[in-house]
């Protein structure tokens, strides 16, 4: 019975400590900047187009084949009178968030730093009623970056892991 | 008291009859026990009824009923023990199949 | 014929009081569910219900409404009669138990001469409901749960009854009100510490509260006899559980803590008496929840062994000691001393019995080898 | 007399089906117990409800892509699983891992062991029947470790942080301080568990002498990890065939000789204390430096060959058998699951015990179903 | 509106049947009794008495007639509780409560455990057959005789008094000490006998298990 | 007897529990050992993985009350349902760990009135947390069917939604919505606990939106 | 105490059983009104952790339960005798006390016998 | 790699490397009468044993007084397509603390091998798994049911190289998103 008394004292000591609950919908815990929610495409604010050139590198590297990339000639390329240095640019881009396993590989393989993991809460609060809504198209993927709503985290030694 | 003694006696008689029927008609040993319980209840009703109505001190009948309850409890325990053993050894709780005593 | 409340005839009076009790029971059971969730939340370093109504106060109401609006299933293979009547058999006895509960002087449904016996007798019936539920569900977990519940309830009923008798010996009556009033000076717990502890433990077991919750243990029998019940029928069991928790804590406080009496007289009025009852019961309820948060579940053999080998002999001894002291007119302090000695004996016996000797391992090996 | 009803009186032991959805099977494990009264006469375990072909899929992935699958194979100790995998690749590709990376790996692996053992404590407490409390305590501390991991790797469970050759990226600058904070929290958690369970009579009565397995049997069944160490076999890969820097720090292999459930619990509790010790020493010795070898190829390829790497995961020996026929992906990857072997002994350990005991014996093995089934 | 009541589909559940049985059988009886009471034909006590009698007799009939033994046992509860009410009518509060305590909690549990153990929940009604008319005859005869005797005899006026419970106890323990001791011995013996039998049964079961009867 | 029959299809398995050792001849039987690999869907899969059709039965009040009087009842029912969503304790794989985390002190689903119950009979929500393999799928389906109406399903994580990382292994079901209807999908592998809470909030919104259906 | 007091005391008990019954029944009827209703074959299968049931549940339980039930009935009867004793032994004096000691001792012997025979042991 | 230094020499995993300094000598002695050959793996010595002799060899390895391979780490198979299936045993000695890999190559036409369950009980489930994953049959196995597969899906061997992967149901791209947008 003494052992039981000890258990009860232990629980009592917890009873007297304040609760540790984070009041979630009201209080959002600050996310670490490395947080990996889902990949997003970055927007080149200078030229007002996505960084992505549609090079398919990420599509091929994705372990779960959840990306689809279609590339087109850039209508904004300098050769056709635009101000962009990208000859090719992304035409259509889908990422199936429902399948993505958030492995960061697409970010690591992209040579244009055009894709980054969403490290804001918007990347986590993505419940939908239809799974087709989880297939993000180009517009959805870029809008957050377009608005400047994402601060991309670049690994300090990120170059070291091109395995 | 407005209820005549005969009402209780009639009730107890009917109950006893039902119990008697159960003992005779059913073959499951446990059901026979249940029927015996019914009969005992009828008997106890009689005891108390007579004690209340006919005994000025209204006492011995109550004590008898108390002992009936006590003994009935003991009886059920013992009888069920026997039934269980019967069941385990003869694979049945049916009294007709257990009518030979050579086990 | 004696007239009761408001000068009504006894039938009407009974109805009025019972309706009050119905309201009280519903509110209290729901409140208890809420309180238990909140308190357990604190024990778990979290908050508990918070978002339904202010401070989550409406949580139980929402639960109840939802359960009413939930489909009420009966498994195809279940035995219709037993399955459907199980909730009645569980709930009605508990409700009957309210009849003798003393909330304050002058308010209870009835003061029965044999109140304690009545309570014990009535509450022993509800176990049949558990067995009905368990057997009728045609579900193995339910079946095992029902059997366990029955075995546990009958085993702990004896220490329960006997320690309750120990109290009634002091007063020489089975009338709960008289027992309460006799404690105006010193509550019985002072004279009967051993009986109090035995009674508390047995009450935990009768309530199927941890550590005696093996009939409903989630990790073994997935909720016991109620596995197959859904919707409102299930919530009847749930309601009954909390109603009996309430009854039991009122009863303990009446028998051992002095119920609505306290040592400093009665001049503060009935409202204060009610408060005393509530406070004493709340302390007990908190204790019960606290135990729930802290102890593991016993195993069936340990549980039964504890009732038969430790609690039953000790409570018999308590009765004999009480009788001896009372018959030979020894000073009452002897009771206290003997009771404290008994508590030590209980602690010692518990630790000895529950801490299995190391040699038990050898038998475990032998068994597993024999079996495999 | 004609026995018309004999069939109705056949006695049969109760067949109790536990799982795949059962609160105490820790996932989708299923066992059918043959119960006589309350005593278990026989147990048939059924596994495979989570068999999802990680090995097969890894054969189609290159080495880096496989890391994610390793995480998901041993999701309670993802770092340990990653470690085995990358060590296997490193052994084949003959990569030299820089010191700093090794120290960090060791810290992470031990922290993960802590969080996994905490999970065990919680789940086991539930099995024994404490209402929620141990689970909650476990998760309070686990959450601290998870937060730390999240700050390092970016994900709460599936870290994908180790890479063949080193680490994906360096740890944050405040890593050491955060680690120490976490350790403080964990120490509190261990103390809470100690207070809540270790001495509690009911807990002791429920666990002592239950689920005994002798050292010889344990070896025969190929058990590993705390489960075998509780039977008195000091089998710990960290000590027997040291990897990382385990030889450079001071720690003890915790063994108990009782071989019962209580001993397994104590073993894990002791190991948690040891892990805290190890992490502290590692933190002291952590120095700046490279986290990847100098020259890493852009696409890692391995020469043909095969290797069987074993590491000590929280649940026991986590082995990775990697066969390469050249190229950038495994030819065959086999995960040696500690839980699978430990689980095999379940029947041996729990036959003859009570139903409730069988459940805590299962809890004491601490299975992770996706590792068992892969 | 009533045309839209999908009665058969919605009300097929037994509890509805239970409610219906409650209201169809007990309801008219209750209504009738209350009507009589209102008409001052019978007293309140008689209302309760007749109610209890109906419960007792229905329960007893259920107990001996129902094919499923568990149902029989449960229906016996109704009888025993009703009998407790009758004891109460006979001014014996203590015995009524003891009846509930010993039967409702104890004996019924014992019987149910016995049923569960023997797997005899499904009674071989098939094998009952032949004795039924005979049994009915004998049962009816006995009941008829007793009823006739009870009705024909002239029972004098009631002499009922309530014994206060302490006085009952006092006289019980003053005058009946020897029977009490004998009861104690009887209980011991019964219990030992039951134990021995049950243990024999258990060892038989164990033998079953050992000889592969069930494995 | 070796258990060969499918428990779901046959209804009975393991009439005797101790597996009789099947003594194989020491010498190999001379049947050809390279059995054919059946490409594509396995023939046995069809019956066990047919989708569930929910048959909604209407509540009585929906049938007898006039429309206006249904509205407040609908509202009350929907509001109470949304505040008391009881999920079934049911974890399949890694996602289950995050689901447990959500119940725990830091997130505390109890704040929303969400408490897990072990039996489907008492639960309103099924959180499919983890990979549904084809071996497990019948059980998931059965459990869903055993839940009383009204019931909802949250598909938690990539695996439950469409097979996730394991889609390409042919023993894995490509999404639990192949067999049971899903109300809310949470992406992620695994989703954060907050994401699960978010899905519950989404489910609550759904319940309020569909409250006209409350008596379904 | 008169018969009338006795009856009026127990009237609420009768009423309470009726009220309790009606309470449960009305909750059930309310639920019938509000709850959805469907009859699906699979839905009404017995829950067994996601498997279809292996066999009918109603098989025998352990003998242990029965032994405890016998013990309980015996001691219940003992308790029944203690009830009147507890309220009256003071009026009789020492003889009643020693009678009860003997009574308990005899039954205690039985308990001891059962204990020694291992009836209180689960295996 | 520090991790490899304890058991075998650390570098040069060339299979042709000399076997000096390993336990091959002991193993060779223990396996007298069995035509075994050895090569040096990255960490352990790999011994090739003819499938017919495998049980004898394993028994000898376990019983040998100096080797004492009492611990079966892992048992699995590798599908080498045309070259048949290797059944691989990873052994360990808890007392002498050394490792050994034993391999038996089964020709694709005769996938039978004797069971090792009589030697280590650990082999039970591992063999069941290997059997259903590769179609290897273990003669004399006490309980040859499927382990991981559903009971009715035991006639395909998913870990064989020729076992196809499933088609992914793709919603994005040419699937739903694309066609909708393009209309
Ligand atoms: S995101 Fe990067 S890798 Fe992917 S298509 Fe665009 S540019 Fe190429
Ligand atoms: S994070 Fe991984 S899974 Fe997700 S899109 Fe990128 S590569 Fe694919
Ligand atoms: S979605 Fe990811 S985390 Fe969840 S079960 Fe599947 S693999 Fe595990």
Q: Up-side HSE of residue C74: CA atoms within 13 Å toward CB?
A: 20
Is the pLDDT score of F64 beyond 80?
no
Say how many Å lie between the first and final Cα of chain A, rounded: 59
CA-to-CA separations, C117 to C164, E63, E143, H158, in angstroms, rounded: 10, 27, 34, 69
pLDDT value, residue A24 = 80
> Considering only CB atoms, which chain H residues are within 8 Å of A91?
none
Tokens of C162: 């006997």
- Give me the phi and psi of D14, to 5 degrees please: -75, 135
CB contact under 8 A, A19 and C291: no
Determine if ligand 3 sits within 6 Å of the CB of residue F163: no
Is the pLDDT score of A133 beyond 70?
yes
The Cα diameter of chain H in Å comes to 78
Determine if ligand 2 sits within 6 Å of the CB of residue A117: no
Domain H15-182 fold is: Beta Polymerase; domain 2 (3.30.460)
Ligand nearest to the CA of F192: 3
Determine if ligand 3 sits within 6 Å of the CB of residue F130: yes
- Which ipTM did the prediction report? 0.86
Say how many Å lie between the first and final Cα of chain E, rounded: 61
Residue F125 domain-assigned?
yes
Residue F32 domain-assigned?
no
Shortest Cα–Cα distance, D216 to chain F (Å): 24
Is the pLDDT score of H2 beyond 50?
no
CB contact under 8 A, D11 and G123: no
Q: Name the residue of A60, A67, A69 whose CB sits within 8 Å of the most ligand 1 atoms, as the mutation to test its pocket.
A: A69
Binding-site residues, ligand 1, Cβ < 6 A: A 52-58, 69, 90, 109-110, 112, 114-115
Beta strands in A63-154 (DSSP E): 67-73, 88-96, 115-117, 135-136
Question: For residue C4, how many other CB atoms are within 10 A of its CB?
Answer: 20
Give the pLDDT confidence of D268-319 residue by residue, as tens digits: 888 888 889 888 888 888 888 777 877 777 778 888 888 888 888 888 888 8
Domain boundaries, chain H: 15-182
Residue E215: DSSP 8-state: -
Q: What is the CATH number of the domain that holds F160?
A: 3.40.50.12280
CB contact under 8 A, G70 and B73: no
Positions in chain G whose pLDDT score sits under 50: none
Residue C338 near residue C321 (C-beta atoms within 8 A): yes
Chain H within 8 Å of D235 (Cβ-Cβ)?
yes
Tell me which residue in C10, C147, C231 faces G31 most closely, judged by beta carbons: C231
Confidence band (pLDDT; 50, 70, 90) for C6? low
Determine if ligand 3 sits within 6 Å of the CB of residue F191: no
CB contact under 8 A, D39 and G122: yes
More confident residue, C362 or H23: H23
Confidence band (pLDDT; 50, 70, 90) for F210? confident
Q: What is the CATH number of the domain that holds A54?
A: 3.30.70.3270
G44 by DSSP, 3-state: which? helix
More confident residue, C250 or C80: C250
Give the pLDDT confidence of D320-358 residue by residue, as tens digits: 888 888 888 888 888 888 888 888 888 888 887 788 888
d(CA G18, CA G39): 31
Residue H128 near residue H139 (C-beta atoms within 8 A): no
Quick one: closest CA in D to E204, which residue? D11
pLDDT value, residue E9 = 43
Specify burial of residue A140 (Cβ count, 10 A radius: 0-12, 13-18, 19+).
middle
Is the pLDDT score of D176 beyond 80?
yes
Those of residues 88-147 in E touching chain B at CB distance below 8 A are 89-92, 94-95, 98-99, 102-103, 106-107, 110-111, 114-115, 117-118, 120, 123-124, 127-128, 131-132, 134-136, 138-140, 142-147
d(CA F201, CA D199): 42
Residue B18 near residue E61 (C-beta atoms within 8 A): yes
Query: Which residues are CB-neighbours of H145 under 8 A, at least 6 positions away?
Result: F2, F3, F4, F19, H128, H151
Confidence band (pLDDT; 50, 70, 90) for H73? confident
Chain E within 8 Å of B101 (Cβ-Cβ)?
no
Domain D14-373 fold is: Cytochrome-c3 Hydrogenase; chain B (1.10.645)
CA of A107 to the centre of ligand 1 (A): 8
Q: Kindly state the average pLDDT of the residues F27-56.
A: 54
Report the DSSP pairing between strands A115-117 and D166-167: unpaired
Is the pLDDT score of D365 beyond 70?
yes
Nearest to A94 by CA among A55, A140, A50, A57: A140
CB contact under 8 A, G39 and F148: no
CA-to-CA separations, G81 to C113, C303, D125, E101, in angstroms, rounded: 17, 26, 44, 12
d(CA A129, CA A96): 15
How many independent structural domains does chain F possess?
1
- Domain of residue A120, residue span: 31-146
Tell me which residue in C113, C118, C150 faces E109 most closely, judged by beta carbons: C150
Q: Kindly state the average pLDDT of the residues H106-129.
A: 83
- Give me the phi and psi of F126, to 5 degrees please: -115, 120
Q: What is the pTM of this model?
A: 0.87
Give the pLDDT confidence of H160-177 residue by residue, as tens digits: 877 777 777 666 555 444
CB contact under 8 A, G3 and B1: yes
Q: Kindly state the average pLDDT of the residues A78-88.
A: 77
Is the pLDDT score of E3 beyond 70?
no
Tell me which residue in E70, E105, E113 faces C125 most closely, judged by beta carbons: E105
pLDDT value, residue B103 = 39
Confidence band (pLDDT; 50, 70, 90) for E179? confident
Is the pLDDT score of D3 beyond 70?
no
Give the pLDDT confidence of D39-67 residue by residue, as tens digits: 787 888 888 888 888 888 888 888 888 88
% of chain G at pLDDT higher than 70: 71
Domain boundaries, chain D: 14-373
Residue G64 near residue G72 (C-beta atoms within 8 A): no
Residue F215 domain-assigned?
no
Specify burial of residue D309 (Cβ count, 10 A radius: 0-12, 13-18, 19+).
buried
Give the pLDDT confidence of D150-159 residue by residue, as tens digits: 888 888 888 8
Q: Kindly state the average pLDDT of the residues B61-90.
A: 80
CA A137 to chain centre: 14
Residue C210: DSSP 8-state: T
CA of F206 to the centre of ligand 1 (A): 36
- Domain of residue F96, residue span: 86-209
Domain boundaries, chain E: 1-117, 164-215
Residue F133: DSSP 8-state: B
Chain C within 8 Å of D128 (Cβ-Cβ)?
yes
Q: Kindly state the average pLDDT of the residues C20-44.
A: 86
H or E stretch including D167?
strand D166-167
How many independent structural domains does chain A possess?
1
Is the pLDDT score of C25 beyond 70?
yes
Q: Whose CA is nearest to atom 8 of ligand 3?
A: F94
> Considering only CB atoms, which chain D residues are within 8 Å of F133?
48-52
> Considering only CB atoms, which chain D residues are within 8 Å of B92?
3, 5-6, 9
Q: Up-side HSE of residue C340: CA atoms within 13 Å toward CB?
A: 5
Chains D and C touch (3+ CB pairs under 8 A): yes
d(CA D211, CA D213): 6
Is the pLDDT score of H179 beyond 50?
no
Mean pLDDT, chain E, integer: 73
Residue F199 domain-assigned?
yes
d(CA C113, CA C99): 12
A70-84, B70-84, E63-77, F137-151, range with the lowest pLDDT: A70-84
Give the pLDDT confidence of C206-239 residue by residue, as tens digits: 888 878 888 877 777 777 788 888 888 888 888 8
Is the pLDDT score of C125 beyond 70?
yes
d(CA H90, CA E169): 80
Give the pLDDT confidence of F69-103 residue by residue, as tens digits: 777 888 888 888 888 888 887 788 888 888 888 88
CB contact under 8 A, D131 and C292: yes
Domains of chain B: residue spans and CATH: 5-90 (1.10.287.3510)
Q: Kindly state the average pLDDT of the residues E175-189.
A: 84
Confidence band (pLDDT; 50, 70, 90) for E119? low
Tell me which residue in H43, H74, H147 faces D334 most closely, judged by beta carbons: H74
Give the pLDDT confidence of D75-97 residue by residue, as tens digits: 888 888 888 888 888 888 888 88
Q: Name the residue of F90, F91, F92, F94 whose CB sits within 8 Å of the most ligand 3 atoms, as the mutation to test its pocket.
A: F94
Q: Whose CA is nearest to atom 8 of ligand 1?
A: A55
> Considering only CB atoms, which chain F residues are within 8 Å of D29?
none
Ligand nearest to the CA of A96: 2
Is the pLDDT score of B1 beyond 60?
no
d(CA F119, CA F165): 30
């Amino acid at each position: 019975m003494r052992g039981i008394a000890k258990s009860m004292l232990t629980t009592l000591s917890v009873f007297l400590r304040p609760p540790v609950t984070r009041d979630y919908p009201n209080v959002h815990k600050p996310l670490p900047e490395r947080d990996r929610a889902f990949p997003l495409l970055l927007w080149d604010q200078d030229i007002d187009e996505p960084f992505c050139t549609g090079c398919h590198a990420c599509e091929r590297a994705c372990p779960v084949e959840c990306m689809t990339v279609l590339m087109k000639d850039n209508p904004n390329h300098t050769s056709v009178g635009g101000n962009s240095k990208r000859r090719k640019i992304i035409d259509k881009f889908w990422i199936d968030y429902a399948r993505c396993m958030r492995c960061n590989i697409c970010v690591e393989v992209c040579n244009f730093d055009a894709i980054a993991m969403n490290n804001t809460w918007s990347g986590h609060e993505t419940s939908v009623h239809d799974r087709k809504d989880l297939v993000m198209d180009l517009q959805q993927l870029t809008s957050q970056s377009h608005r400047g709503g994402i601060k991309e985290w670049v690994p300090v030694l990120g170059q070291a892991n091109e395995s | 008291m407005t209820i005549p003694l005969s009402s209780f006696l009639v009730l107890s008689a009917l109950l006893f009859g039902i119990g008697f029927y159960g003992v005779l008609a059913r073959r499951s040993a446990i059901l026979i026990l249940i029927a015996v319980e019914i009969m005992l209840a009828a008997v106890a009703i009689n005891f108390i009824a007579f004690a209340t109505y006919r005994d000025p001190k209204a006492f011995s009948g109550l004590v008898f009923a108390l002992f009936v309850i006590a003994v009935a409890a003991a009886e059920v325990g013992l009888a069920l023990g026997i039934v269980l053993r019967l069941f385990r050894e003869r694979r049945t709780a049916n009294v007709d199949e257990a009518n030979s005593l050579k086990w | 014929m004696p007239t009761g409340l408001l000068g009504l005839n006894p039938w009407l009076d009974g109805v009025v009081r019972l309706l009050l009790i119905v309201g009280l029971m519903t509110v209290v059971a729901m409140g208890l569910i809420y309180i238990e969730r909140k308190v357990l939340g604190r024990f778990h370093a979290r908050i508990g219900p918070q978002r339904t109504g202010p401070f989550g106060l409406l949580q139980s109401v929402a639960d109840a409404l939802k359960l009413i609006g939930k489909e009420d299933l009966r498994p195809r293979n279940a035995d219709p009669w037993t399955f459907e009547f199980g909730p009645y058999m569980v709930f009605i006895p508990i409700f009957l138990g309210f009849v003798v509960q003393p909330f304050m002087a002058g308010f209870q449904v009835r003061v029965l001469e044999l109140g304690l016996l009545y309570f014990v007798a009535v509450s022993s019936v509800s176990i049949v409901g558990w067995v009905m539920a368990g057997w009728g569900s045609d579900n193995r977990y339910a079946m095992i749960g029902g059997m366990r519940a029955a075995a546990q309830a009958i085993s702990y009923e004896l220490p329960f009854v006997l320690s309750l008798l120990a109290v009634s010996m002091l007063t020489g009556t089975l009338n709960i009100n008289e027992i309460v009033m006799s404690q105006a000076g010193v509550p019985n717990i002072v004279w009967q510490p051993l009986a109090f502890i035995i009674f508390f433990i047995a009450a935990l077991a009768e309530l199927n509260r941890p550590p005696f919750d093996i009939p409903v243990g989630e990790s073994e029998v997935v909720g016991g006899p109620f596995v197959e019940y859904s919707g409102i029928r299930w919530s009847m069991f749930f309601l009954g559980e909390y109603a009996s928790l309430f009854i039991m804590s009122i009863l303990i406080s009446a028998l051992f803590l002095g119920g609505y009496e306290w040592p400093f007289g009665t001049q503060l009025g009935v409202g204060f008496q009610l408060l005393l009852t509530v406070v004493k019961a709340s302390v007990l309820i908190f204790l019960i929840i606290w135990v729930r948060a802290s102890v593991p579940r016993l195993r069936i053999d340990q549980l039964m062994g504890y009732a038969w080998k430790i609690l039953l002999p000790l409570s018999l001894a308590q009765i004999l000691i009480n009788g001896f002291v009372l018959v030979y007119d020894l000073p009452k302090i002897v009771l206290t001393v003997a009771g404290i000695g008994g508590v030590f004996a209980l602690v010692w016996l518990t630790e000895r019995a529950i801490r299995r000797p190391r040699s038990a391992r050898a038998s475990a090996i032998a068994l597993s080898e024999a079996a495999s | 007399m004609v026995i018309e009803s004999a069939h109705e009186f056949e006695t049969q032991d109760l067949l109790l089906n536990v799982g795949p959805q059962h609160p105490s099977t820790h996932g989708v494990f299923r066992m059918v117990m043959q119960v006589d009264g309350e005593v278990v006469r026989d147990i048939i375990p059924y596994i495979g409800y989570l068999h999802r072909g990680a090995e097969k899929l890894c054969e189609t992935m290159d080495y880096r892509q496989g890391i994610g699958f390793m995480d998901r194979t041993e999701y309670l100790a993802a770092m340990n699983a990653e470690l085995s995998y990358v060590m296997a690749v490193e052994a084949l590709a003959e990569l030299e891992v820089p010191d700093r990376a090794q120290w960090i790996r060791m810290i992470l692996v031990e922290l993960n062991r802590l969080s996994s053992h905490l999970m065990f404590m919680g789940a086991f407490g539930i099995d024994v029947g404490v209402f929620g409390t141990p689970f909650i305590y476990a998760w309070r501390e686990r959450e601290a470790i998870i937060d730390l991991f999240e700050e390092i790797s970016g994900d709460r469970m599936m870290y994908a942080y180790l890479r063949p050759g080193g680490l994906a990226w360096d740890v944050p600058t405040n890593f050491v301080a955060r680690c120490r904070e976490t350790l403080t929290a964990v120490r509190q958690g261990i103390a809470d568990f100690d207070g809540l369970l270790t001495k509690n009579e009911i807990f002791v009565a429920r666990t002592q002498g239950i689920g005994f397995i002798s050292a010889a049997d344990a070896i025969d069944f190929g058990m590993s990890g705390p489960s075998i160490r509780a039977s008195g076999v000091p089998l710990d890969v960290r000590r027997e065939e040291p990897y990382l820097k385990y030889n450079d720090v001071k720690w003890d292999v915790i063994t108990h000789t009782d071989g019962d459930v209580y001993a397994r619990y104590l073993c894990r509790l002791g190991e948690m204390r040891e892990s805290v010790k190890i992490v502290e020493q590692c933190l002291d010795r952590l120095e700046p430096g490279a986290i990847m070898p100098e020259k890493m190829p852009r696409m890692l390829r391995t020469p043909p060959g095969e290797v069987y790497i074993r590491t000590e995961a929280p649940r026991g020996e986590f082995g990775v058998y990697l066969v390469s026929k050249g190229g950038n992906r495994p030819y065959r990857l086999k995960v040696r699951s500690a839980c699978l072997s430990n689980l095999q002994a379940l029947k041996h350990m729990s036959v003859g015990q009570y139903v409730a005991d069988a459940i805590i014996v299962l809890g004491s093995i601490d299975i992770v179903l996706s590792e068992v089934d892969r | 509106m009533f045309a839209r009541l999908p009665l058969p589909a919605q009300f097929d559940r037994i509890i509805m049947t239970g409610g219906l049985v409650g209201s169809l059988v007990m309801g008219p009886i209750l209504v009738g009794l209350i009507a009589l009471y209102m008409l001052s034909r019978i007293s309140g006590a008689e209302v309760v008495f007749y109610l209890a009698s109906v419960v007792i007799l229905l329960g007893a009939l259920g107990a001996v007639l129902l094919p499923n033994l568990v149902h029989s046992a449960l229906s016996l509860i109704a009888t025993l509780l009703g009998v407790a009410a009758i004891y109460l009518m006979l001014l014996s509060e203590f015995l009524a409560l003891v009846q509930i305590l010993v039967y409702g909690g104890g004996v019924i549990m014992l019987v149910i455990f016995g049923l569960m153990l023997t797997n005899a929940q499904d009674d071989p009604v098939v094998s009952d057959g032949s004795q039924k008319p005979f049994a009915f005859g004998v049962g009816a005869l006995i009941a008829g005789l007793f009823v006739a005797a009870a009705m024909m005899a002239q029972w004098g006026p009631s002499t009922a008094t309530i014994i206060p419970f302490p006085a009952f106890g006092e006289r019980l323990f003053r005058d009946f000490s020897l029977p009490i001791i004998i009861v104690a011995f009887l209980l011991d013996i019964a219990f030992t006998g039951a134990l021995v039998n049950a243990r024999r049964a258990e060892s038989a079961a164990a033998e079953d298990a050992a000889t592969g009867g069930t494995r | 007897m070796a258990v060969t029959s499918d428990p779901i299809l046959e209804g009975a398995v393991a009439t005797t529990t101790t597996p009789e050792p099947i003594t194989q001849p020491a010498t190999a039987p001379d049947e050809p050992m390279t059995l054919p690999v059946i490409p594509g869907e396995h023939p046995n899969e069809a019956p066990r993985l047919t989708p569930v059709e929910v048959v909604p039965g209407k509540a009585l009040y929906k049938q007898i009350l006039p429309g206006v009087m249904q509205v407040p009842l609908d509202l009350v029912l929907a509001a109470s349902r949304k505040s008391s969503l009881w999920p079934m304790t049911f974890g399949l794989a890694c996602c289950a760990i995050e689901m447990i985390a959500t119940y725990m002190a830091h997130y505390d689903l109890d704040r929303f009135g969400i408490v897990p119950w072990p039996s489907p009979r008492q639960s309103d929500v099924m959180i499919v947390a983890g990979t549904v393999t084809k071996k497990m799928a019948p059980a998931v389906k059965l459990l869903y069917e055993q839940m009383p109406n009204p019931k909802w399903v949250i598909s938690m994580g990539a695996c439950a939604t469409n097979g996730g990382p394991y889609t390409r292994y042919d023993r894995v079901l490509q999404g639990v919505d192949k067999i049971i209807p899903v109300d809310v999908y949470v992406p992620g592998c695994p989703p954060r606990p907050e994401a699960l809470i978010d899905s519950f909030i989404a489910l609550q919104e759904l319940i309020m939106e569909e409250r006209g259906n409350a008596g379904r | 105490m008169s018969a009338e007091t006795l009856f009026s005391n127990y009237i609420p008990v009768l009423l309470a059983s009726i009220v309790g019954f009606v309470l449960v029944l009305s909750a059930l009827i309310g639920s019938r009104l509000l709850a959805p209703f469907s009859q699906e074959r699979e839905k009404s299968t017995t829950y067994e952790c996601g498997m279809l049931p292996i066999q009918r549940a109603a098989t025998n339980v352990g003998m242990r339960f029965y032994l405890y039930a016998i013990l309980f009935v015996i001691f219940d009867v003992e308790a029944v005798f203690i009830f009147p004793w507890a309220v009256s032994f003071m009026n009789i004096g020492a003889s009643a006390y020693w009678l009860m000691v003997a009574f308990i001792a005899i039954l205690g012997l039985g308990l001891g016998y059962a204990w020694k025979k291992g009836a209180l042991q689960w295996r | 790699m520090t991790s490899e230094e304890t058991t075998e020499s650390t570098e040069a995993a060339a299979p042709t490397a000399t076997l000096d300094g390993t336990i091959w000598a002991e193993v060779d002695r223990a396996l007298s009468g069995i035509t075994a050959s050895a090569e040096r793996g990255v960490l352990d010595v790999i011994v090739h044993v003819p499938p017919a002799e495998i049980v004898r060899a394993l028994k000898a390895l376990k019983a040998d007084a100096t080797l004492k391979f009492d611990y079966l780490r892992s048992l699995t198979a590798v599908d080498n397509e045309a070259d048949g299936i290797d059944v691989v045993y990873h052994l360990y000695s808890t007392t002498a603390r050394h490792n050994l890999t034993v391999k038996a190559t089964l020709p694709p036409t005769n996938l039978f091998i004797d069971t090792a369950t009589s030697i280590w009980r650990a082999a039970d489930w591992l063999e069941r798994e290997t059997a259903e994953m590769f179609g290897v049959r273990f003669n004399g196995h006490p309980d040859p049911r499927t382990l991981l597969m559903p009971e009715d899906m035991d006639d395909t061997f998913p870990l064989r190289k020729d076992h196809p992967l499933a088609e992914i149901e793709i919603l994005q791209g040419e699937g739903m998103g694309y066609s909708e947008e393009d209309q």
